[in-house]
Amino acid sequence: MALPELLPILVIALYFLGTVLFVVGSALRNEGLKNGALVLAALGFALHTFDLAHILTGTDAAQGLTAGRFLFCLLGWGILFIFLLLWWRLKLKFLAVVAMPLALMLYLAANATVGVNAKLPPTLSGLFFFLHIGTLFSSMALLAMAFGAGLAFLHLEKRIKTKAGLRQFQKDMPSLDTFDRVNHFAALCGFPLYTLGLASGYVWAWLSARRVFSLDPKEIVALLVLTLYAYLFHQRLAMGWRGRKPAVMAICVFLLTVVSMLGINFLVPTTFHGFKP
């Protein structure tokens, strides 16, 4: 079996084993198992990177940019990259329980959408394409981490307020303040990236089709996401929002981006951004 054919199998196996090992390590409060899971994730990430590079350097690289496999592969890679960055900056090992399963599911989706392409203009690819897609996917990856941190924050806060006590594996989890810092980081960095990605998309639409906005469902949801993201950004930085409210808001914004990415792209055939065989 050739290396390009073997790569997906290896990446999926490493992500799956890493996820299982981390969950088991968390349940048993075994740092050795959790560290081993992170090593497997890092190996999978390295092979995942090689897979992306193979697509970008292939003979049909230009066409590969609009392939569903590449787009899902890139988003999964971005989520794991943001997790590794947060692990380095905030020492949040626990977010691996969100990052690794998401990376695995998106990589599986990537390999399930071979032959499916996004309906994008044939012009303005290359650097402009990565300005649009790269910034949007980076902001979504940050939101994914805020989503995981938000769920953990709400769960721990509820157990603390109800005096239910913490289960064994929960005793190793970071403090509520640490999860709130993830939300702050996602809002601080993610909103400008999302705004840049959306603005570049409108420029792209004007240059390729002489239009800025239509009633395309994808564009409507994107503006809704931008509005909610802007509200979260403003409330956190200007009004000093902390705790439960920004956690709930981050969860809602992330779920809306999932609806936009999966629901609209696949289920609404009229959208300009939809996937087609």
Percent of the chain with pLDDT over 70: 75
pLDDT on residue 75? 87
Residues contacting 41, CB < 8 A, separation 6+: 14, 15, 18, 22, 80, 96, 99, 100, 103
pTM: 0.84
Q: What is the pLDDT of residues 117-148, one digit of tens each?
A: 665 655 555 566 777 788 888 999 999 999 98
1 CB burial (10 A radius; 0-12, 13-18, 19+): exposed
pLDDT band at 171 (very low <50, low <70, confident <90, very high): low
CA-CA distance, 104 to 34, in Å (whole number)? 17
How many Cα atoms are found within 13 Å in the side-chain-facing hemisphere of 77? 19
CA-CA distance, 13 to 7, in Å (whole number)? 10
**Are 229 and 181 within 8 A, CB to CB?**
no
pLDDT on residue 251? 93
How many Cα atoms are found within 13 Å in the side-chain-facing hemisphere of 178? 15
pLDDT on residue 182? 87
CA-CA distance, 256 to 223, in Å (whole number)? 11
Mean pLDDT for the chain overall: 80
Higher pLDDT, 15 or 65: 15
- Assigned token pair, 59: 């003979």
